[in-house]
Amino acid sequence: MQPRPPRQSLYQRLIDEAIGLRDQAQSAPSDVRDRLLSKARQLESAANIEGWLSSAELKPPT
31 to 25, 28, 36, 46, 57: CA distances (angstroms): 10, 8, 9, 23, 41
15 by Cβ neighbours in 10 Å (0-12 / 13-18 / 19+) ranks as: buried
Work out the mean pLDDT of the chain and round it to a whole number: 90
pTM comes to 0.79
- The domain segmentation of the chain, as residue ranges, is 10-53
Terminal CA-CA length for the chain: 48
Give the mean pLDDT of 39-53: 95
Top-confidence residue, 7 or 19: 19
